[in-house]
Amino acid sequence: MFNKKPLADTTARRPSTGAQAKIYSRDNVARYSERARQRRRSHTIRHVALIVVLGVLLSATTAAGLWFATIMGKLGDSNVITDNLRRVLVDTDEAKDPFYVLLLGTDGRPGEDTYRADSIILARIDPTQKQATLISVPRDTKVEYKGETMKINACHTVGGAEAMVEAVNELCGVQISHYAEVSFDGMQALIDSVGGIDINATDDVDDPEHLDIKITAGQQHMDGATALTYARCRYTYADGDYTRMRHQRQVLGALANQILNNFDATKIFGLVNSLSDMLVTDMSVQDIVATVNAMRGMDVDGIYSANLPSYADDSTMIDGVSYVFVYEDELKEMMERVDAGKDPKGPNTMGLSDGSSSTIGDLNNNTSDDYANGTATSSVSSDDSDDSSDSSDSDYYEEPTGDGNGYEANY
């Protein structure tokens, strides 16, 4: 038989009557009450702290939401970014797929409802290859819009951003995904907001009749006012508006270099905040940040650069108005290269291309006289040098006609 253990004597653990008297004495009741009050106070403090933290988070979320809504409201100014414009633009994944964006520089001033497109640049952005292409469209280019002959910058006056996108789509055979415009004052403020730009000014600027600032050629750091002056001057150059378009692409290249390679990435939302006061675009904050992050570290000198193959002379006058005519076949060939992500090998002055490479780096190494006189040098194309479709033989090149200065003044 198993021996059973005796039951524990529970009475041995009970305190004596005297001990019970001590444990439940009036003094101990007071001590327990104080401990209970401390526990309740601790719980209350934790609850209050939690409520405060939740309140702060809620306030921060609300503030962030209000900031985001304010920024989006400024960037997507409904007077410019209309439903009709959005219907014309095509969707794209800005972080993964190449896309086209139409960039307009306008002569608008605060409070003005009517203004003109002074600078027109079609940009192709390829985030996976960290490559960009800038194609300038002369503002006097002849187009047919809704059955009427007009200069392409007049489309902006007739039908706003939507008309500009439609006109450039038709002219260049592309589908534009995004639209952005900035005024002269906005560009000046934007450049100042990133600390200025470093640029090699290839030409002097000395035109006191139209511009207040003089610039001496050479590598230099420009503030917004100086950069804007460099991008606007045209009357003093042999090929006029074509030099101005080259300078504008140089300024855009230098601005891209400052933002992508020299700008503190932690300040990107501050930059977006500044942009919202200067830029009008259909791009969202997420689109802008995603594109900037995807393109960070790109070789800006390698940005492809060209203007439309085009000319202006006595034969391009219609009803007493001077237009710029495009070489349609050559433009089609150039845009096929652009669409394929290749060097456009397009011209950087009036006339046709000689088939040479065309980059921002090339613009930085040649003067307006080099381009006007046909003595500009270029870098070697790395991806398209054996392209038999380039037509780089002599019958592809045509000497420019006209002096490039016969355009209406838009100052």
Q: pLDDT value at position 344? A: 96
Q: Model confidence over 174-209: pLDDT tens digits?
A: 999 999 999 888 899 999 988 999 999 999 999 999
d(CA 86, CA 70): 20
pLDDT of residue 55 exceeding 60: no
Domain for residue 409, yes or no?
A: no
Query: What is the DSSP secondary structure assignment for residue 312, as one 8-state letter?
Result: -
Mean pLDDT of the chain: 81
Instruction: Look up tokens 């420019």; give the residue.
Output: 400
Q: pLDDT value at position 140? A: 96
pLDDT of residue 404 exceeding 50: no
Highest mean pLDDT among 33-37, 140-144, 382-386: 140-144
Q: pLDDT value at position 1? A: 46
Q: Which of 6, 41, 66 is the last residue of a domain?
A: 66
Q: What is the mean pLDDT of residues 376-404?
A: 49
d(CA 349, CA 381): 19
Residues 327 and 192 in one domain: yes
Q: Which residue has the higher pLDDT, 379 or 65?
A: 379
* H-type alpha helices, 111-195: 154-172, 184-193
Q: What is the mean pLDDT of residues 259-274?
A: 78
d(CA 207, CA 210): 6
Q: pLDDT value at position 323? A: 98
d(CA 77, CA 100): 20
pLDDT of residue 31 exceeding 70: no
319: domain CATH number is: 3.40.630.190
The number of domains in the chain is 2
Q: What is the mean pLDDT of residues 310-314?
A: 95
Domain for residue 12, yes or no?
A: no
Q: Which of 66, 90, 121 is the last residue of a domain?
A: 66
Q: pLDDT value at position 127? A: 93
Q: pLDDT value at position 75? A: 81
pLDDT of residue 97 exceeding 60: yes
Domain for residue 364, yes or no?
A: yes
Domain for residue 42, yes or no?
A: yes
Mean pLDDT lowest for which of 46-50, 53-57, 117-121? 53-57
Q: Which of 41, 66, 91 is the last residue of a domain?
A: 66
Q: pLDDT value at position 279? A: 87
Domain for residue 123, yes or no?
A: no
Domain for residue 368, yes or no?
A: yes
Q: What is the mean pLDDT of residues 381-396?
A: 42
Q: Which residue has the higher pLDDT, 308 or 385?
A: 308
Residues 194 and 330 in one domain: yes
Q: Name which of 134, 136, 189, 187 is nearest 300 in CA terms.
A: 134
Q: Which residue has the higher pLDDT, 17 or 96?
A: 96
Domain for residue 75, yes or no?
A: no
Pairing of strands 197-201, 310-311: unpaired
Domain for residue 328, yes or no?
A: yes
Q: pLDDT value at position 115? A: 66
pLDDT of residue 104 exceeding 90: yes
Residues 217 and 355 in one domain: yes
Mean pLDDT lowest for which of 162-176, 185-199, 237-251? 185-199
pLDDT band, residue 398 (cuts 50/70/90) = very low
Q: Are 155 and 170 in contact (CB under 8 A)?
A: no
Helices (H) and strands (E) in the chain, counts: 12, 14
Q: Are 236 and 260 in contact (CB under 8 A)?
A: no
pTM over 0.75: yes
Q: pLDDT value at position 30? A: 61
Which residue range forms the structural domain that includes residue 51? 27-66
